Structure 1
């Protein structure tokens, strides 16, 4: 489970603020005139009690309650300043509360008002002096600088947490996608092996038995030959049914091009987005393993275009040549910087989709090219042979 690295910093700032409030309040009571000390102590205790209640109010997460609590705290501070001018030093922790709890415009305004109140309180006690004016003003400036820095740090921490959450979600999606792709690839392999071994063998046995039955229809063993042929035919039918179940349904029922067109209508359709699928399959269907890989690659490329590129149009093109199948997915989105992609991919960070496509293409001995540039859209082009090549491409070629 991820732990926020900046949490100790925020905790330290909060603890420091609490200790500052308690320490200054205790100092105000100690420095008060003996005659006024009971009243000052009572006001200080009330202020600390209200301040402590702020934790429960913060957990309620209601802005109205928070502002009411801050108003009560400010009134108690003003009363304490009237009773003991030394309480003007409590304005410094109040600055941070104003900046943190009030809206962006009201926070600095409250700091200015509190600064004027502190200056007036100091002047009422010992007259208007340079130190009595400059001290609160400098404290207000320091508080504003620290408060703005705290907000920027908190905003950066929130953005970092969001990025980490997206990274974790992307890793989970990648793991799920890889598991699904692995299962589909294994199903395709089993289907292919069944077709090339068991189904072909049963088909040959059935044909040979049929020839034997016709060659000597009057022999004593013809009934056994016929029974064997019928049994082989039944087993062949079961084997073909099993192969059909192992083959991905969209491909088994329609073929690759028809499956892509169906996805364009059922899954890729979005308001304001046009997805076009075209191509030719006159040269027949590619092997199941190749068709499955191309289908998953198209799904991933279109999903990236839908989620990240802001595209308004996506074109999917499938071309089938003897022994080779080509797939191209092109969008008119925002694109990206190829140099950044190459650097991140080399470092093992980011662009998990491209990495997964590259690995899938490498396993099948194909070629992958990604053409993109900021503001020029992206094109993913894949070429896979029917029979895996002896040497696989070393990686995705990303170019402008």
Structure 2
């Protein structure tokens, strides 16, 4: 059975109309049967079977309310009307079946056709009653006329309720489609965010580690002939960096904290990063802590460590500096990380900085810091070096 697109009240009204037709038909058939009228009795039974068949077929149509349903319904209405007309002529018991037929006309036909049809049906009912009585009375006119008027009014209400129900159904369908689109969009956004997260992690961990290893190996090759001992020390540092990078990759897969923070504090991890990030270069890095260190959440430690790695990676690869500094400052309500160098710097308003390799790294740092409600400030100009300052508001407990 197809679920009708009507609310329960409208479905109840439909079945009330069908029930009215069935009751009136049963009364009429019982009346002519008691009078021994065989043909009207058989005709009434056949009319009831056709009416019931139409209802059953309607309920099994695959597209309720479609053109096929409408054409079949109108054909059914013609057959029922002809059957009623024949029975109304045969016996006055069937005249009052016109009342539920009014609803069928107003439901299946457009108003421009239904209203004249109801009028013709009303006149036919009046004439049939008058023909059986042998005279025309006021009651014969008033009864079918009032029935037609009531049926027309109820049909108008029915159509209004149906239109409202259909509008609500379309709105619900639109909401369901919109919700599906939102779910798809949220899925796409989640995948994009995950892709961005992976890009940040790879840039700040594996890529930085590989850069350090390359710098160390280049320095070892340069010192191999003149200072084998120094070259061997560089190779050992490169091996340690490779081990740490491998551990980063494993933790990256397991989504654990950076290995530099697993067995030490943020201060110790930053001190090691300050030394290893510029290994193999002539840059001297000074690390300082200002204020009283306080324990920070893991995501704060990881963000500050990644910012330091990214900024020092830019220093070692692009700055051409001789000196650099890393300062971790604890204030009453915030923690600041300052990474600066005396290198060549760059013009903040020019795309040359991005061409030099600082564009994506700075964007990643900003995204990491902004996720925790902080800010990242970059100060630089050609020939004046570069300063990267990350500021994070302390969580309420740590700030207190």
Identify the TM-score tier after normalising by the shorter chain: 0.5 to 0.7
1:13 is displaced (CA, Å) by 2.1
Instruction: Give me the whole-angstrom Cα distance separating, in 1, the residues matched to 2:24 and 2:184.
Output: 57
Residue 116 in 1 paired to residue 123 in 2? yes
Which protein has the larger Cα radius of gyration, Structure 1 or Structure 2? 2
Residue 85 in 1 paired to residue 92 in 2? yes
1:104 is displaced (CA, Å) by 3.1
Equivalent residue runs for 1:182-261 within 5 Å: 182-220=190-228, 222=231
Gaps of 5+ in 2: 62-67, 253-348, 375-388, 395-400
Spell out, residue by residue over 1:147-191, the C-alpha distance to the aligned partner (whole angstroms, 9 max, x if none).
122222222222211211111121122122112212211221222
Residue 161 in 1 paired to residue 169 in 2? yes
Contact 1:29 1:37 in 2 (8 A): no
Contact 1:209 1:226 in 2 (8 A): yes
The answer for the alignment partner of 2:26 in structure 1 is 26
The answer for the alignment partner of 2:265 in structure 1 is none
The answer for the alignment partner of 2:51 in structure 1 is 51
Q: Which of residues 133, 136, 142 in structure 1 aligns to 2:144?
A: 136
Instruction: Give me the whole-angstrom Cα distance separating, in 1, the residues matched to 2:138 and 2:390.
Output: 88
**TM-score scaled to structure 2, two decimals?**
0.54
Tell me, what secondary structure is at the counterpart of 2:111? Answer: coil
CA 1:290 to 1:138, structure 2 compared with 1: closer, same or farther past 3 Å?
farther
Contact 2:212 2:238 in 1 (8 A): no
Tell me, what secondary structure is at the counterpart of 1:217? Answer: coil
Spell out, residue by residue over 1:256-309, the C-alpha distance to the aligned partner (whole angstroms, 9 max, x if none).
xxxxxxxxxxxxxxxxxxxxxxxx9858779769989xxxxxxxxxxxxxxxxx
1:89 is displaced (CA, Å) by 0.8
1:364 is displaced (CA, Å) by 8.7
Instruction: Give me the whole-angstrom Cα distance separating, in 1, the residues matched to 2:22 and 2:362.
Output: 72
Residue 41 in 1 paired to residue 49 in 2? no
CA 1:57 to 1:182, structure 2 compared with 1: closer, same or farther past 3 Å?
closer
The answer for the alignment partner of 1:100 in structure 2 is 107
Contact 1:99 1:108 in 2 (8 A): yes
Instruction: Give me the whole-angstrom Cα distance separating, in 1, the residues matched to 2:350 and 2:100.
Output: 74
The number of residue pairs the alignment matches comes to 262
Spell out, residue by residue over 1:101-140, the C-alpha distance to the aligned partner (whole angstroms, 9 max, x if none).
1233211221111000111122223332222111111111
Instruction: Give me the whole-angstrom Cα distance separating, in 2, the residues matched to 1:72 and 1:98.
Output: 13
Contact 1:21 1:93 in 2 (8 A): yes
**TM-score scaled to structure 1, two decimals?**
0.54
Instruction: Give me the whole-angstrom Cα distance separating, in 2, the residues matched to 1:289 and 1:210.
Output: 23
Tell me, what secondary structure is at the counterpart of 1:105? Answer: helix
1:34 is displaced (CA, Å) by 5.0
The answer for the alignment partner of 2:80 in structure 1 is 73
The answer for the alignment partner of 1:317 in structure 2 is none
Contact 1:36 1:83 in 2 (8 A): no
1:92 is displaced (CA, Å) by 0.8
Instruction: Give me the whole-angstrom Cα distance separating, in 2, the residues matched to 1:159 and 1:81.
Output: 40
Spell out, residue by residue over 1:178-214, the C-alpha distance to the aligned partner (whole angstroms, 9 max, x if none).
1221221122122213212332233133223423432
Cα RMSD between the aligned structures? 4.2
1:41 is displaced (CA, Å) by 1.3
Gaps of 5+ in 1: 244-279, 293-322, 325-361, 367-385, 392-400
Instruction: Give me the whole-angstrom Cα distance separating, in 2, the residues matched to 1:7 and 1:141.
Output: 25
CA 1:26 to 1:281, structure 2 compared with 1: closer, same or farther past 3 Å?
farther
